[in-house]
Amino acid sequence: MTDPSNWFVLKNFKCPAAGCTNKEGYSWNCPAHGSQYYINGLGKIRCGNGCYENICQVPWTCPHSFHNGGNNTGSDLESMVFSLSLNVTLMREAGAQWTSALITELGRQYAR
């Protein structure tokens, strides 16, 4: 039994910006506070300093040259689900129920 409202540190996570080909996993920090990002199965990202956002609204910038100029930071459903699918550790830790709740919620968020 895994509660979708459980938070997990977002680490070893491929950049989910749409079109970014960088496959490397990163720990992600809030650009405003520098504190770690957490993710839950309800489709939210939060930082240790109180930022709280829908996953679809979070901009993503990894060190890859793809982002030069600050562009192309938005994710889409395919890129986000792909990044999640590469993060076997997170999904194992979070559990099937958490993961399926998140995938369902992401489908809703990106459809808007």
Q: Which residues form the interface with Zn ion (CB under 5 A)?
A: 15, 17, 20, 22, 30, 32-33, 47, 49, 51, 62, 64
How many residues make up the chain in this entry? 112
Nearer to Zn ion, 10 or 30 (CB): 30
Smallest gap from residue 100 Cβ to Zn ion (A) = 26
Sheet of 7-9, strands arranged across: 7-9, 37-40, 44-47, 52-54
Q: What minimum distance in Å lies between the beta carbon of 104 and Zn ion? A: 25
Q: Which is nearer to Zn ion, 17 or 101 (CB)?
A: 17
* 30 vs 101 by CB, closer to Zn ion: 30
- Whole-angstrom CA distances from 104 to 42, 74, 85, 97, 111 are 9, 19, 14, 11, 11
Instruction: State the minimum distance, in angstroms, from the CB of residue 96 to Zn ion.
Output: 28
